[in-house]
Amino acid sequence: MRTVDLVVPVKGLPFAKSRLLASFGSGDRAEHQRTVLALITDTVSAVLAAEAVREVLVVTPDPDVTAAGRELGASTLPDTSAGGLNAALELGERHLRERYPGTRVGALLADLPALRPVEVTAAVHAARGARAFCPDREGTGTTLLLSAEGGALEPRFGPSSAAAHLASGAVPLWGPWPGLRCDVDTSNDLGAATELGLGAATVGVAPDPAVPPERPRAVRA
Ligand X SMILES: Nc1nc2c(ncn2[C@@H]2O[C@H](COP(=O)(O)OP(=O)(O)OP(=O)(O)O)[C@@H](O)[C@H]2O)c(=O)[nH]1
Ligand Y SMILES: C=C(OP(=O)(O)O)C(=O)O
Residues that bind ligand X (CB under 6 A): 9-11, 16-19, 59-60, 79, 84-85, 88, 109-111, 185
SS3 8: strand
Shortest reach from residue 142's CB to ligand Y, in Å: 5
**If contact means CB under 5 to 8 A according to the sort of partner, which of ligand Y, ligand X, none does residue 84 touch?**
ligand X
From 90, 89, 98, 92, select the one nearest 76 (Cα to Cα): 92
Q: Cα separations (Å) of 2 from 56, 63, 121, 140?
A: 12, 29, 9, 29
Give the neighbor-by-neighbor strand order of the sheet with 105-108: 75-78, 53-60, 4-9, 105-108, 142-146, 132-135, 171-172
Q: List the beta bridge partners of residue 168.
A: none
- Minimum distance, C-beta of residue 136 to ligand Y, in the bound complex (Å): 6
Residue 171: C-alpha distances to residues 22, 123, 150, 151 (Å): 35, 11, 16, 14
CB of 21 to ligand X, least distance (A): 8
Is the Cβ of residue 55 or residue 79 nearer to ligand X in the bound state?
A: 79
Q: Which of ligand Y, ligand X, none does 142 bind, CB closer than 5 to 8 A by kind?
A: ligand Y
Chain residues that interact with ligand Y, rule: CB under 6 A: 85, 109, 136, 141-142, 157-158, 161, 183, 185
37 vs 218 by CB, closer to ligand X: 37
Nearer to ligand Y among residue 4 and residue 144 (C-beta): 144
Q: Is 81 annotated as a binding residue?
A: no
- Residue 127 binds what, of ligand Y, ligand X, none (CB under 5 to 8 Å, by partner type)? none
Residue 18 contact partner, candidates ligand X, ligand Y, none, CB within 5 to 8 A by sort of partner: ligand X
Q: Pick from 11, 13, 24: which is nearest to 186 by CA? A: 24
Q: What is the DSSP letter of 207?
A: P
